[in-house]
Structure 1
Amino acid sequence: MSAAEPGELLGTGRTADVFALPDGRVLRRYRTGADARGEAELMAHLAAHGYPVPAAWPGERPTDLLMERLDGPTVARAVTTGTLAPGDAGRLLADLLRRLHAVPPRTAARPGDRLLHLDLHPENVLLTARGPVVIDWATATEGDPGLDVAMSAVILAQALLGMPPAYAEAAPAMLVPLLHGLPPLTAHHLAAARARRAADPGLDAADHQRLDAAVALVRACADRT
């Protein structure tokens, strides 16, 4: 079976579908026509520097990305089932951001530029037998690491505010450890993250309604670090 003839559909996201392949790998195929070759190259760069990403290879089509198949719950699933404490989840995300920003950038067009994920949140971290692994690098780029931290915090706050009250009330338990020990967020970082988030075509009306509250929650939690 070739990448042009994928097997079982494992999942569907906003821009891509993920299929099983008979050799134990998975195929991620972009429906939008996006070119996945740069993503494969970036993941290889990260892996070469010891960052926890799935092994990845270019597919037969420019829109295809082949990856090892990973087993394990997402951080989000582990928190909601009670197998991972919110504070531990926040500290884990902070550690993954610190480690990412320590990886040498590939181009560093401007002084201080680092590799950014821009979507590093609990749904994009799998807890595998070899440890946490970060997935979904479609939005990755290089730039100000403060934006990466702000994006993670705003996305997380927005998600928690949309959950049942018990999770929304516990949001600081995850956000404060996430922000602790990372470079302080500035008003510029939060404004840039809000603008980027507002421009995301995947957000629905409820997401937009929670955006200002999410930014305010992140600001309040940052003041507690």
Structure 2
Amino acid sequence: MSNPDPLAPADTEDAKQPASTQLIPGDAEPSTSAQLISADAKPFASGRDADVYSIDDSWVLRRYRNGYPVRDEADFMRWVAKYGYPVPAVRQIEGADMVIQRLAGPTVADAAIAGDLSAVEIGRMHADLHRRLHAIPAPSGTAGLVVMHGDLHPYNVIQTPDGPVVIDWRNAEEGTPEFDIAMTAIIFAQVAVDPGPGPTCPRCSARPSPPTSPNPSTPRRVCRQPWIPAPATSP
């Protein structure tokens, strides 16, 4: 039966699988984390909270060292992906482990530093990413709420050959578009007035520390406070 809501994702059998074993279309049966990487595997990138291990040319395994479960983060990523939003594909999750798509390209911040993107281009890109994200209804269906990224800024956007891809969804939650945009505006403003070691957390004003992500080519910065711990995002 056709779906009367043009924004609603397709109702597939895969979408009905438990999140812990859900696969992307066309994948084989999931393996446990122990089967995906060897016991003595070394991460190719590490951050304050997470390590990133190479699986192959297409996938990486990101693991929180403190055992923090990734289910909520993965659920939000899968939810927005159903609406065509640019996020790394999530292949499977298990506890603190998430198998995600390997990304190629610099962060938007590093592309700007290299002179490949102007301030106007970055502004338009972020405005478009916010508009697209906030057009997605909240998973709960609560009226007036949308999906908020909570930390959308140039270090959390990878400039891939296929376009910008948004990473680091640990702070994602349901909320209002205005709050999400305000968070980004505050981060931009902090960088503008104090470009030193990086933006501070708009809620706690703590200085950041570098984490990691599917693209370990360049470090990004995150708050030291527990409300916004650094997952494996773009370095």
When normalised by structure 2's length, the TM-score is 0.66
Q: 1:45: which partner in 2?
A: 79
Q: 1:106: which partner in 2?
A: 139
Percent identity, aligned pairs only, is 42
Alignment partners' CA distance in 2, 1:21 and 1:160: 38
Contact 1:37–1:58 (CA under 8 A) maintained in structure 2 = no
Amino acid across the alignment from 1:92:
M
Q: 1:21: which partner in 2?
A: 55
Decide which moves more: 154-163 or 49-58: 154-163
Matches within 5 A, 1:67-216: 67-109=100-142, 111-163=143-195, 197-199=202-204, 203=208
Alignment partners' CA distance in 2, 1:22 and 1:139: 27
Which structure has more helix as a fraction of its residues? 1
Higher relative contact order (CA 8 A, sep 6+): 2
- Deviation for aligned residue 1:58: 2.6
Query: What's the C-alpha RMSD, in Å, of the aligned pairs?
Result: 2.8
Amino acid across the alignment from 1:53:
V
List runs of 5+ in structure 2 lacking aligned partners.
Answer: 1-33, 210-221, 224-235
Amino acid across the alignment from 2:38:
E
- Deviant stretches of 4+, over 6 Å: none
List runs of 5+ in structure 1 lacking aligned partners.
Answer: 165-193, 209-225
Alignment partners' CA distance in 2, 1:128 and 1:46: 18
Alignment partners' CA distance in 1, 2:153 and 2:178: 15
- Deviation for aligned residue 1:43: 1.4
Q: Deviations over 1:88-108 (max 9, x none)?
A: 001101110110000121004
Q: 1:2 to 1:22 in 2, by over 3 A?
A: farther
Amino acid across the alignment from 1:151:
M
Contact 2:130–2:181 (CA under 8 A) maintained in structure 1 = yes
When normalised by structure 1's length, the TM-score is 0.69
